[in-house]
Amino acid sequence: MYVEENLIFYNQRFESQSQLFDFIADELEEKNYVTEQFREAIKIREQNFPTGLQLQNLNVAIVHTEVEYSRTEKLVIIKLEKPITFKNIETLKPLEVDFIIGLILQDSYKHLEVLQKVSRLLQNEEVIQEIRQASSHAELTILMQDYFNKKENEI
């Protein structure tokens, strides 16, 4: 459905949010999944509407842009080797994020459906623990594909 092996990245290292966003944009532009304006749009969106979430055992950012910058329906999954600083969505204070979920959505109606699925993932302590313990790209890929490619009634 939304998760492809070539959009899951394990133990990536970035020195800044900007470097992370450039990496995401490069990967998506190369596959023609986003418009040329995506790179700037994701940076501006994060600056104006922070996406950092502090969970009990994992800090996550759910980065995205408006649908006009997307040409497909995909998720980008990145497990960071070293946390990078985002702003907390609730407090706007700095938050060291370990895990990135990028929403690449061109259908605004699917946006809510995907956000609900991501939300359920983030509330599932068992899956969060498996994300933290994933020790290879293959493990993370299987975990994410199993979760996101399930039918709604299986979750």
* Alpha carbons 105 and 7: distance in angstroms, whole number: 14
Evaluate if pTM is beyond 0.85. yes
- Is the Cβ–Cβ distance between 33 and 71 less than 8 Å? yes
pLDDT at residue 56, rounded to an integer: 87
Please write the tens of the pLDDT for every residue from 35-85: 999 999 999 999 999 999 999 889 999 999 999 999 999 999 999 999 999
Domain ranges of the chain: 3-147
Measured in degrees and rounded to the nearest 5, phi and psi for residue 144 equal: -70, -40
Tokens of 60: 């996550």
pLDDT at residue 150, rounded to an integer: 73
pLDDT, mean over the chain: 92
Greater confidence (109 vs 1) lies with 109
* Alpha carbons 118 and 62: distance in angstroms, whole number: 9
pLDDT tier for residue 153 given thresholds of 50, 70 and 90: very low
| CATH class (in words) of the domain with range 3-147 | alpha beta
pLDDT tier for residue 111 given thresholds of 50, 70 and 90: confident
